[in-house]
Amino acid sequence: MKKIIYRDEKGAIIEQAEMPVDQYHTNPGWIKGKFLTKEVYKDGKLREYTIFVDDKKDFADILQDEKLQGASISIGRREQVGTFRHEKLYWHKSDKSPDTILTEIFDEGNHVIVSSFTDDIENEIPYWNGTTKYYYDTSVRADAPLFECYYTDEGKPIPITIDVEELNWGDQDGTWVYADPEGIEDLMRIFKMSKALAEFYVSSEIIPKNIT
């Protein structure tokens, strides 16, 4: 079994859970970004450690912490971008060498609207097969996105598929939205979203600007 503990800035436990080793467990945003550390234990030993720090804290201090020897470490930074929360997690292997970088963007409802990772530590170029955008509207569907965005290996947006039949917005199987001015107009019309937000969803941008 794995034991997962979330702690706040005072070291108090916010939440803890036990689950089978091979079971997927949540990402840090699951508890609305309110924790400072996440500790994953297996057989009583610390195996994974995630901590969010401010820009004044040195990564080296964390990587050299004796209590974290033998554990993989993820060091995160957070910033607010308009109405969105931007989180970047720098993963390190158990030998403390850099591994991957995970970027996630959360909306005001704490839904992940962008998830992207890369193992290009120097340039941080996204791994496009590991990049997805999601669009949520909880007034239409509470627990799942209304559409998802994917990319070619070169980072070009793949046309978005919208299941308009499932959404009761028509009698056809689906609607294709392309990364062009007409696609932007389609998103604005179908989802009543702003032009800036529609432009974001048909683009290869990972971090949204100050848009709503």
Q: So what's the pLDDT on residue 139?
A: 86
pTM of the model: 0.85
Please write the tens of the pLDDT for every residue from 155-197: 999 999 987 666 666 545 567 889 999 999 989 988 899 999 9
3-state helix, strand, coil in the chain (%, to 5): 15, 35, 50
**Residue whose token pair is 């050299």:** 64
Please write the tens of the pLDDT for every residue from 8-24: 888 999 989 898 887 77
Please write the tens of the pLDDT for every residue from 145-155: 999 999 999 99
Query: Of 90, 55, 76, 79, whose CA–CA distance to 208 is shortest?
Result: 79
